Chain A
Amino acid sequence: MFIPIQARDLTKIYKKGPIEVGAVLSANLQLNEGEIVGLTGPSGSGKTTLLSMLGCILRPTRGSLQIFGAEITKLKPRALPGIRKKYISFIFQGFNLLPFLTAYQNVALILRLKGYQDGKHMNERVKELLSKVGLSDRMHFYPKALSGGQKQRVAIARALAADAPVVLADEPTGSLDNANGQSVMEILRKLANEEKKCVIVATHDNRIEHFFDRIVFMEDGKIAEIGKRMLLQEDHEEP
């Protein structure tokens, strides 16, 4: 059985003229099925860059990244959309819903990308997913007519539609109030526990730390610590 994500010595260096800036430096990380992992750290610590590399959006400068045993760094760029489609789904802080599509159409689009044909089966699947996130009554609304929490739920339904084993969420509660944030995290937690997805959440929000099985703390482009939430918290609280 393959491990969903295995990163070794994963590094991203940006070159600006003669200057090299290390955004992520030698990250070693293993993410398992059925766990929800928090990726924390101050702004500029490399969380988003690491998440982009894990999501096959950004190519690492060096190191190894394996997704279900496939060595991503060895693949040609044109193979990456296929990897993303099969293994990874994203949830963004800004929701990134397509504004010209309704909630229903945003979710259906992913099913289309996965090869579903328009018809009863797809229709039922979209309705089921939107009902799962509590949006049965908003499915024909355009994003501009939805609240922040509702938009994020559509984005989650879209991620669920992809049915990918890895879910990468970037600040999913960043634009939400506490109640909506907790509710979104409940859904993500269920995804890990009940559907055995590997969920990684990059966040600044310490109100949601109790949802994570593990927390990866990043600082200056490096993974400073990986541990259980409480232990990490206690370490950082010490003088």
Chain B
Amino acid sequence: MYIALRMFFYDKAKALVTLLGVVFAVSLMFTQIGIWIGMMESSSIIIDHTPADIWLTSKNSRNFDFSQSIPEYIYYQALSVPGVKWAEKLIVAWGLITEKEGGTESIEIIGYNPDTGVGGPWKMKEGATQDVKNGYFVIVDQSAMKKLGNVKVGEYRDIVSRRVQVRGISEGARAFTTAPFVFMAYDVAQQLGQLIGPDKTAFVVAKVAPGYSVRDVIQHLKEKIHGVDVYSSEEFSRKTRFYWTFETGIGSSFLLTIVISFLIGMLIVGQTLYNSTSEYIKEYGTLMALGASNLDVYKIVFSLAIISGVLGFAISLAITALLVKALANIGMVMVMKPWVNFFMLGVALFMCISSAFVSINKIKHLDPYILFMG
């Protein structure tokens, strides 16, 4: 490691080129993974923030956003099943809202029970979750401000020809689709939401009573209630993410970019390491002539790869942290997770170490005459 460190920092221009290669590849992978996780988290954000254990959905419902309606009586049936502590109806529907300057914008209507707040916004900037009660009142999320204009509490908008008043601004409920979430009372959503209709709901969510297992209650619900699918919150969240990832092609395109970034990084690092090895081939040979074993010399090459990988990763981590903040300002969600950081460190090291094998091959075939050239 001592020699590798000296070698790495001796030619600063070369070190910079190697680092640029690693940083470019790792940052690109970091960005793609971060944006992808951000999108996936957004796609199931309502499910993940609803304090329920079980979701009852229409048959073959594939995700949260495009669910068919189910009869409201399912709610009462669910309540009567042993092990259900409480249940709530939740509406998710599509609608149109007028913009400040005229024109309309698509929205995703979330109708919840304002008395319990289940399925409603979980963090309020202005107002409270109960403020949508008893009238045509709505809560708009902060993330929708750019799309809907600078919405203020107290102002009026039209949703599907019905005048509604903004009563609160929520935070953190960023929709995955291009249509922002607008929260309102369940009965109002039932009127305004398209394809819902009276006596219909989109979901019924339930909480399991203490002493019952989620698995058992799901089984009871499946036995008692027909014509619906029953999932645990985790299952439905996963199903929604899976849908957006693999069934829409979004995940595949991200995966492709990640793989391409990895290959580009490997190519750049491999070529730089190989050039460096070629340039220092006489020095490697000298070390071997002076008694260093093949393994000692391979260790230097691998150490160089590890130095490139670790430094490149550290710089990429800093760049990614800055990007997370910068993207948040333009309304994009990019997420950094500890496990992703560790994974990316592993990827960076794997990329650099596997590139080093090409250099090792060059050293293996070193011609001793090179040592005797003046």
Contact = CB atoms under 8 A, between A and B. Distances in A.
A204 to B, nearest CB: 11
A114 B282 CA distance: 21
B290 A94 contact: no
B275 interface: no
Contact of A99 (B10, B369, B373, B374): B10
A105 B291 contact: no
A13 interface: no
Nearest to A94: B374
A81 B288 contact: yes
A89 B291 CA distance: 9
Given A94-B373, A94-B374, A85 B368 contact: no
B292 A48 contact: no
Interface string A94-112: 1010111100010001101
A85 B374 CA distance: 23
Interface in A66-84: 78, 81-82, 84
Nearest to B369: A48
B194 interface: no
Interface residues of A, number: 34
Contacts of B9: 100
Contacts of B368: 52, 57-58
A51 interface: yes
A113 B371 contact: no
Interface stretch (A132-140, A169-177, A226-234): A169-177
Interface residues of B, number: 25
B283 A109 contact: no
Interface string B1-18: 011001101110000000
A163 to B, nearest CB: 11
B372 interface: yes
B291 A174 contact: no
Nearest to A84: B291
B293 interface: yes
B10 A55 contact: no
Contacts of A162: 290-291
Given A98-B283, A100-B10, A101-B6, A113 B292 contact: yes
A92 interface: yes
Nearest to B288: A81
A94 B368 CA distance: 14
Contacts of B282: 94, 96
Contacts of A94: 282, 372-374
A105 B283 CA distance: 14
A42 to B, nearest CB: 16
B294 interface: yes
Interface string A129-160: 00000000000000000000000000000100
Nearest to B293: A81
The B interface, classified by DSSP as helix, strand, loop or mixed, is helix
Contacts of A112: 2
B290 A85 contact: yes
Given A48-B372, A58-B368, A92-B372, A100 B292 contact: no
Interface string B240-251: 000000000000
Contacts of A109: 3, 290
Contact of A78 (B3, B290, B294): B294
Contact of B291 (A85, A98, A99): A85
Contacts of B289: 55, 57, 84, 90, 96
A86 B10 CA distance: 30
Contacts of A28: none
A57 B290 contact: no
Interface in B270-326: 282-283, 286-294, 296
Contact of A174 (B286, B292, B374): B374
A7 B9 CA distance: 44
Contacts of B372: 48, 51-52, 92-94, 170-171
Contacts of A174: 374
Contacts of A158: 290
Interface string B79-105: 000000000000000000000000000
Contacts of A89: 290
Contact of A57 (B6, B11, B294, B371): B371
Contacts of B291: 81-82, 84-86, 110, 113-114, 162
Contact of B374 (A51, A93, A114): A93
B374 to A, nearest CB: 4
A78 B298 CA distance: 13
Contacts of A92: 286, 371-372
A171 B372 CA distance: 9
Contacts of A85: 290-292
B283 A96 contact: yes
A94 B293 CA distance: 22
Contacts of A57: 288-289, 368, 371
Contacts of B286: 90, 92, 96, 98
10 contacts: A52-B368, A58-B368, A78-B294, A90-B286, A94-B374, A96-B371, A98-B287, A99-B283, A113-B291, A113-B292
Q: Which 5 A-B pairs have the closest CB atoms?
A: A85-B291, A100-B10, A96-B286, A81-B293, A57-B368
Interface of A: 48, 51-52, 55, 57-58, 78, 81-82, 84-86, 89-90, 92-94, 96, 98-101, 105, 109-110, 112-114, 158, 162, 170-171, 174-175
Given A84-B288, A109-B3, A114-B291, 12 more contacts: A85-B290, A90-B371, A93-B372, A96-B282, A98-B287, A100-B3, A100-B7, A100-B9, A101-B6, A109-B290, A171-B372, A174-B374
